Structure 1
Amino acid sequence: MKKLELDRIQCVIFDLDGTLVDSEVICLQGYCDTVPDLDWDVHYMIENLRGCQFHAIVAAMEGRVGHKLADDYEITYRAHVAELFEAELKAFPDVVEVVSALNLPKCIASAGPPKKMQHSLGLTGLLPHFEGRLFSSYDVQSWKPEPGLFLHAAEKMGFAPQNCLVVEDSAVGIKAARRAGMQHLLHVPMGHEAFAGYDGEILKSYRDFPLK
């Protein structure tokens, strides 16, 4: 297993969904709820589509159900997920405490649209800790596993890629971090397992976050 080189880390780049906030299952359940003839359940979605781009997930669902989804499907989906967030969304245990105590520069790089990021962070009390340092794939038109979003975040934060640590929860996110030449830490909450073939360090609880 490759160990983190903590003395080289000058900036922390967090993913958002499934990493800071417990939203990944909610977001994937949203697809199941809004495509009634889809026979995939949320467990299948987690196993196969976790961390993937919205349009890639839509294409996969269209292939499964055998027809195009409505032109306004994204509006329907986003509105439903926003309602689910209002009812269910929480930050992972100890995240707020760790983020507020972290002395290193930090930012968020997420595949989600900026409006969704603002909503998630506002609901969970995290927004004040990242205000002005939110980077979205929708702004740079680069989606994981491509490294563009992470490289953009590092540049805007003013740090070389090799001095950044990416905290992620998905295989595509870890691949993007590797392609960007950054160190990476995989968030695997209790009761979950790392994706097959992962050989780096794992974070099971934010109480054990290696940078404090």
Structure 2
Amino acid sequence: MKKCLLFDCDGTLVDSERLCNQGFVIKFAELGIKLDVDLLMFKYRGWELDKILADLSCEFDVRLPNDFAAKYRVVVAELFESELRPIEGIKAALDLLPYPKAVVSNGPIFKIKQALELCGLSDYFGSHIYSAYDIGIWKPDPRIYEFAAKDMGFFDSKDCIVIEDGLVGVEAGYKAGMQTLFYNRFNQTCVFSSVVSFNAMVELPGLINAS
């Protein structure tokens, strides 16, 4: 069977979740609001930025400046430059997976490319990078994965495998009818029975080759 591997980026390929949420801590502290990075990671993994900001501004009853998101992106980019690392074991796993691969992310294209470049992962994916901002579809909408698969030349969902670390992305992969593997480092409960959870990237090649 042909296989197309569709990877999420943040938290799946690159260990960026804490840095992204640290950006929220830094920017909201400027407004006198104290956030907890661990709680942010648990609650918002995989969410669209605009929805996170809307939720936080509502929770703390604060109106964010118009340039808040742009300045947040600058902070995160600086954190990436100094601290971003690939997910442990991901390079070894990718080396053992000789299938067409793509990145499908809710993040903007410049952020995805920066992350892949800094972590030495760009060559695994080439130009096969799909951003929700370019497509106009955000997870958990399954059409983002359907679009990427078709653009890669895979028209049968059964030929595609989604690798995700957050429930929002897992839902998108599952509802697209694709085999979905959940890199579940935080042991979250997944309601989709066919989704396979795993805790370390060393397991990934075996799971994919067995699919």
Tell me the TM-score normalized by structure 2. 0.91
Give the whole-Å Cα distance in 2 for the aligned partners of 1:180 and 1:211: 18
**Where do residues 165-176 of structure 1 align in structure 2 (5 Å cutoff)?**
165-176=161-172
Give the whole-Å Cα distance in 1 for the aligned partners of 2:126 and 2:189: 31
- Does residue 131 in structure 1 map to residue 126 in structure 2? yes
Q: Percent identical across equivalent pairs?
A: 33
Structure 2 stretches lacking a partner, 5+ long? none
Please report how far the alpha carbon of residue 188 of structure 1 lies from its aligned counterpart in structure 2 after TM superposition.
Answer: 2.1
- Does residue 20 in structure 1 map to residue 13 in structure 2? yes
Please report how far the alpha carbon of residue 194 of structure 1 lies from its aligned counterpart in structure 2 after TM superposition.
Answer: 2.3
Give the whole-Å Cα distance in 2 for the aligned partners of 1:195 and 1:34: 31
Deviations 1:32-67 (A, max 9, x none): 111113333112212221111000001011112212
Give the whole-Å Cα distance in 1 for the aligned partners of 2:196 and 2:164: 11
Residue 64 of structure 1 is matched in structure 2 by: 59
Structure 1 stretches lacking a partner, 5+ long? 1-7
Aligned counterpart in structure 2 of residue 110 of structure 1, from 105, 108, 114: 105
Confirm or deny: 8 A CA contact 1:9 1:165 kept in the other structure.
no
Please report how far the alpha carbon of residue 9 of structure 1 lies from its aligned counterpart in structure 2 after TM superposition.
Answer: 5.9
Amino acid at match of 1:21: V
Regions of 4+ moved over 2 Å? 37-40, 194-200
Aligned counterpart in structure 2 of residue 145 of structure 1, from 137, 140, 146: 140
Confirm or deny: 8 A CA contact 1:38 1:61 kept in the other structure.
no
Query: Please, what is the CA RMSD of the aligned residues?
Result: 1.5
**Where do residues 171-186 of structure 1 align in structure 2 (5 Å cutoff)?**
171-186=167-182
Deviations 1:107-141 (A, max 9, x none): 11000100000100000000011111000000111
Task: Return closer, same or farther for 1:89/1:32 CA change in 2, 3 Å cut-off.
Answer: same
Residue 48 of structure 1 is matched in structure 2 by: 43
- Does residue 211 in structure 1 map to residue 208 in structure 2? yes
Matched residue of 2:130: which SS? strand
Please report how far the alpha carbon of residue 175 of structure 1 lies from its aligned counterpart in structure 2 after TM superposition.
Answer: 0.7
Q: How many residues align?
A: 203
- Does residue 195 in structure 1 map to residue 189 in structure 2? yes
- Does residue 31 in structure 1 map to residue 18 in structure 2? no
Give the whole-Å Cα distance in 2 for the aligned partners of 1:161 and 1:73: 38
Please report how far the alpha carbon of residue 96 of structure 1 lies from its aligned counterpart in structure 2 after TM superposition.
Answer: 1.2
After superposing the two structures, state which structure 1 stretch, 92-101 or 78-87, moved more.
92-101
Give the whole-Å Cα distance in 2 for the aligned partners of 1:111 and 1:164: 19
Matched residue of 1:35: which SS? helix
Residue 5 of structure 1 is matched in structure 2 by: none
Please report how far the alpha carbon of residue 156 of structure 1 lies from its aligned counterpart in structure 2 after TM superposition.
Answer: 0.6
Please report how far the alpha carbon of residue 93 of structure 1 lies from its aligned counterpart in structure 2 after TM superposition.
Answer: 1.6
Amino acid at match of 2:14: V
Please report how far the alpha carbon of residue 196 of structure 1 lies from its aligned counterpart in structure 2 after TM superposition.
Answer: 5.1
Matched residue of 2:161: which SS? strand
Task: Return closer, same or farther for 1:149/1:188 CA change in 2, 3 Å cut-off.
Answer: same
Give the whole-Å Cα distance in 2 for the aligned partners of 1:198 and 1:64: 29
By relative contact order (CA 8 Å, sep 6+), the higher-ranking structure is 1
Amino acid at match of 1:74: A
